Amino acid sequence: MRIDALLAAGPTRSFEFMPPKTDDETAQLEATLDDLAPLAPSFVSVTHRGGEASRQRTFDLVTRIEREGATTAMAHLICVGHTRAEMREVLERYGAAGVANVMALGGDVPSGEHAASEFAHAIDLVDLVREVGGFAVGVAAHPLGHPRSPDRSSDRRHLADKLARADFAVTQFFFRADEWSELVDELAALGVNRPVLPGIMPVTSLASVDRMATMGAAVPNELVARLRMADARGGARAVRAVGVDAATELARELLARHAPGLHFYTLNRSTATREIHRTLFESRDD
């Protein structure tokens, strides 16, 4: 199904995966897919780091998920460093394989690959997706602003222009519900009311705190303090429990604020996502 139709029908639950590069990563992903299948996600998305090899791995995983028919899959596409003809061919391949959903991203030119590009930003790819036709198209949103945006107001204007041409957005992970609400309100003030799916990634170790900051969203000081207190009292297991609890609290608050769904960044592992899902939905469904 198209994701815009799924969102129109009610709140969605979605998971994000990375295409594996090694046999060990493949085995890990296979186990994760099996573990998460009973949760019946509305859709799953598959990332693309840039470059021809990564693009092919994304294509192989997305088309396999679609063939198996258990859930809807969305492919991430990176346009910077490519020509329109190349991206048109990629879109046509996905369409021929029965894939109806794509995430249009800008990205960076991969190291060692040619830099000739007919795309400057993700909005250019959104326009091409519309020209080819047949796809629901999502775009990325950053509650705290894109790292390359000079200021918040210009970030919101560019995002509003991009999202007005797309069907929905998925946010970078964040940690305060107010950040999602403010993003949605600021887009509405610019006349854009497309669904904005909040992205959630639990902090499962103290080591991940610094990594998350480099990935685009710093862990708030109050959560870092909770994690350090847990570490002092119970070590790594206690830190993980606090991180999962904090992500669950965030997800519950977002649902209370009528978020159109929840999008979980899994890092190809299932345990934390299953625990959050069980607390939010399964106990309520019993």
Residues assigned a catalytic role:
16
What element of type H or E holds 189? helix 177-189
What does DSSP say about strands 72-78 and 136-141: parallel, antiparallel, or unpaired? unpaired
Distance CA 104, CA 147 (A): 17
**DSSP character at residue 261:** E
Q: What backbone torsions phi and psi does residue 170 show, to the nearest 5 degrees?
A: -125, 130
- Tell me the three state secondary structure of residue 145: coil
Distance CA 158, CA 219 (A): 25
- Tell me the three state secondary structure of residue 50: coil
Distance CA 142, CA 156 (A): 9
Q: Which two tokens stand for residue 24?
A: 């060990």
